[in-house]
Amino acid sequence: MEQPAERQLSLVNLPETQEFSLPYLSLDLKEVSSHLAQATVRVTTEVTQAVLRHTVSLYRNRTETPGLKVVPTSYIEKNYGKDIASDMRKLLYRYFVIDYLHDELGARKINLANSPRLAAVDVGNNGSVFTFDISLAPPIKLREWKHFAFKPPRRKNYKDLDKQVDSFIKKHQDRSRKRSVNTIEDGDWVCFTAQMVDDEREAIVPNYTNTYWLKATGETIKHPLVDAVLGKQIGETIVTDQFPLNHQFSQHMHKEQVYALTVSAIAKGSHLAIDSLKNMFKLANKAAVHEKVIEVFSYRNELSQRRTMIEEMFHLFFSKHRYEVPKHLALRKQEEILQSIKGRPDYHAYRKDKDFLQHVATLAEQQLKEEMIIDQIAMQEKIKVDIKDMSYYLNVLGDDRSREFIYFRPTLEMAEDYPAPVQTCVLKRTCRRDKTLNYILHQLTR
């Protein structure tokens, strides 16, 4: 694939001010083959130059030159040009490009088989271009699945099961009464609307924000942002240079970039909010809640009723829809799985198993088959995900028992112990799959 030639950033001739006009970003999509497309996201000249001016000012704040009160731009360009270009690529990608790309692909009904892969980046004074390789999922000819005969597995009927469920529900209801729904507490997931601002608290790019989810926890590493947000409520704004998005940048931006963070939503981490469960599964009353919770308490052969139901549903769908996973997609998925487990303490123990790679290959194919058909049904049924859906998802994911309700999970392991910002597009895509799965089970069992 032809990549754009890298243009040299010129810091000296940057205009001091810039008039902005919408839209700030645009997407060109070109089909390369039946299984591959090329997506090109363009960031306007005005936005690129505004971010570049701001980045230069941050570097200037952290640079001292003996005998000079003001560090010349030419000095910054000569000594830090490559670092600035690297920080620009990372910032534009995380703050502007990646969520926009996913939203546009969704709006255009592009069925992805894997996450978009960044192929080339070209950041220059006349705008920025990010080129992605897009793996396309092969179309599946869906049958009238809503009429499939599906017999869900039955619950176990031992005596204490209902008492355990009643006790579980009561415990979380009692915890809920002691907590504030609209106030950030330790362990909560928080959705922030983030806006880049300068030292005068003016927006770098006017009328532009992005959203991120963070876990406000201090269990492992106490981060300054956690102390800053605890006790804040929905709608409140804090201005901070401690937003963890900065940690991927060089030291010149690491401690300098300031964000105005407005709390948009809170998913409680201290307890399962029964209302979240009711909304997530459309449960009408207490009896329906009780019956639903039974699914993660009733076990047979070390599998919960919930997990058995999902596995049998997929078995039914695969028997009715015969399709293969293309080899190149399976290899990409294997890479993703290996990358996600390399940081686990037991990774090296798993690697010693002579069948380890075969297990990874089998898992990759299974996950792809499931994701491909779920994504296509989601598109067919026009399943949408909003901030409330993501809040319900994260709340249910937070309890060890209710976590069993969640089948599709994003890579949140790092964010569980350290408040790294989770891109909304990553969470939204995974949440949509789980919402679609719940929709299918509801249609088959009603």
For the chain, domain boundaries: 25-135, 145-155+294-415+422-445
Bridge partners, 121 (sequence order): 130
Q: What is the SS3 assignment for 135?
A: strand
CATH 3.90.1150.10 fits 25-135, yes or no: no
What is the spatial distance between Cα 156 and Cα 169, in angstroms, rounded to a whole number?
18
Going through 198-257 in order, the beta strands assigned E by DSSP cover 210-216, 237-240
What is the spatial distance between Cα 3 and Cα 18, in angstroms, rounded to a whole number?
29
Please give the chain's pLDDT, 446 residues, in tens: 444 445 667 777 777 777 888 899 999 999 999 889 999 999 999 999 999 988 888 888 878 777 777 788 888 888 888 888 888 998 999 999 999 999 999 999 999 988 899 999 999 888 999 999 999 999 999 999 999 999 999 999 888 999 999 999 999 999 999 888 899 998 899 999 999 998 889 999 999 999 999 888 765 556 778 888 899 999 999 998 888 776 666 666 656 788 999 999 999 998 999 999 999 999 999 999 999 999 999 999 999 999 999 999 999 999 999 999 999 899 988 988 888 788 777 888 888 888 999 999 999 999 999 999 999 999 999 999 999 999 999 999 989 999 999 999 876 443 444 456 788 988 999 999 999 999 999 999 98
Q: What is the SS3 assignment for 376?
A: helix
What is the spatial distance between Cα 341 and Cα 336, in angstroms, rounded to a whole number?
9
In angstroms, what CA-CA distances link 446 with 358, 360, 441? Answer: 38, 36, 8
Is the Cβ–Cβ distance between 127 and 44 less than 8 Å? Answer: yes
What is the spatial distance between Cα 390 and Cα 394, in angstroms, rounded to a whole number?
6
Query: Which amino acid does the sequence have at 285?
Result: N
Give 14: exposed, middle or buried? Use CB within 10 Å, 0-12, 13-18, 19+. Answer: middle
Fold of the 145-155+294-415+422-445 domain: Trigger factor, domain 2 (1.10.3120)
Is the Cβ–Cβ distance between 11 and 76 less than 8 Å? Answer: yes
Residues whose CB is less than 8 angstroms from the CB of residue 235 and which lie 6 or more positions away in sequence, other chains included: 262, 263
Q: What is the model's pTM? A: 0.90
